[in-house]
Amino acid sequence: MIFTDDFSAVQKYQGISLRDIARKYALDMLSLQNRIMGVDEWYRKPRIQFLFIHHVFNDEAANFEALLQELSKDHTFISHSEAVNRILKGNIDRPYISWSSDDGFKNNLVAAKILNRFDAKACFFVNPDSIGTNDREWITGFCNERLKMPAVEFVDWEEVEQLQKWGHEIGSHTMNHKNVAHMTVSELQDDLHTSKEILEKHCDAISHFAYPYGRFFDFNKKAFDLVFEAGYTSCSTGERGCHISDGSEIEKNQLLVRRDQVICAWPLRHTMYFIANASKKASLLSNYCPSSMD
């Protein structure tokens, strides 16, 4: 079995819909409008913006490096832990970017090497059940059913440890990428504790958690509380937005991290549009759980 190495193969597997085409043209127009109107003030706004990826395939590496080069002009790259701590302390004095990645594909090592060249450190959120597995039938089923992807190879434990040696962080993404909103309280409690314990046998202390699928409706307030009861320091979504501060401190079990997803194959102008738009719409309310999750 040959694993998928190129994003073009993922696109072929997923197919391109009329909605995808319409979205591309809409983003072309919006990004052009941004350039005409000028967005430099939004890039330079003091804030913490969490950007997350899932993969850097062979045909995405050049785009990813170009994005880092562009962002480095106006932003300071910081780790996930520093970003969380700055929000909690109300210490956001310039534009910061914090990187993370979900799912633990082996091509995350490519991402880490590119990040290293910019002295940028990411938090890699992984699922212990998929780390180091050689069961190709299981990988195919897992990728198809849970990730809506063709079969992609996952990191092994030595590679997870290598990421840490390079200065990156490791976080939990649940044991096997189940939708948290569909779990019972006892199932989620067991998952949060077990994934943390397994990861900590191979890594340093595991402080950060990001739930799969990432939308607000894939989570709830009870699950949010359970994350901190299990000993994690932060909880991350996949909802767009960024974090600002009025200088006030907040408690760690109040912060729900927003993260903007980046597909590295996207045109740079599209990604920069999302980044500027998040900065433009930034609100103190984005530091907290929305009322819809109560």
The pLDDT tens digits for 26-42 are 888 988 888 777 788 89
- Select from 3.20.20.370, 3.10.20.30, 3.20.20.70, 2.40.240.10 the CATH code of 19-293: 3.20.20.370
So where are the chain's domains? 19-293
The pLDDT tens digits for 51-100 are 999 999 999 999 999 999 999 999 999 999 999 999 999 999 999 999 99
The pLDDT tens digits for 144-203 are 999 999 999 999 999 999 999 999 999 999 999 999 999 999 999 999 999 999 999 999
pLDDT band at 48 (very low <50, low <70, confident <90, very high): very high
Mean pLDDT lowest among 100-109, 123-132, 284-293: 284-293
Residues of the chain above pLDDT 90, percent: 89
For position 38, what pLDDT does the model report? 79
> What pTM did the predictor assign?
0.96
DSSP string, the chain: -PPP--HHHHHHHH---HHHHHHHHHHHHHHHHHHHH--HHHHTSSEEEEEEES---GGGHHHHHHHHHHHTTT-EEE-HHHHHHHHHHT---SEEEEEEEES-BTTHHHHHHHHHHTT--EEEEE-GGGTT---HHHHHHHHHHHSSSS---B--HHHHHHHHHTT-EEEE--SS---GGGS-HHHHHHHHHHHHHHHHHHSS---EEE-SS-SGGG--HHHHHHHHHTT-SEEE------B--SS----GGG--B-EEE--TTS-HHHHHHHHHHHHHT--GGGGS--GGG-
For position 19, what pLDDT does the model report? 87
For position 168, what pLDDT does the model report? 98
Token digits of residue 229: 């009861």
The pLDDT tens digits for 190-214 are 999 999 999 999 998 999 999 999 9
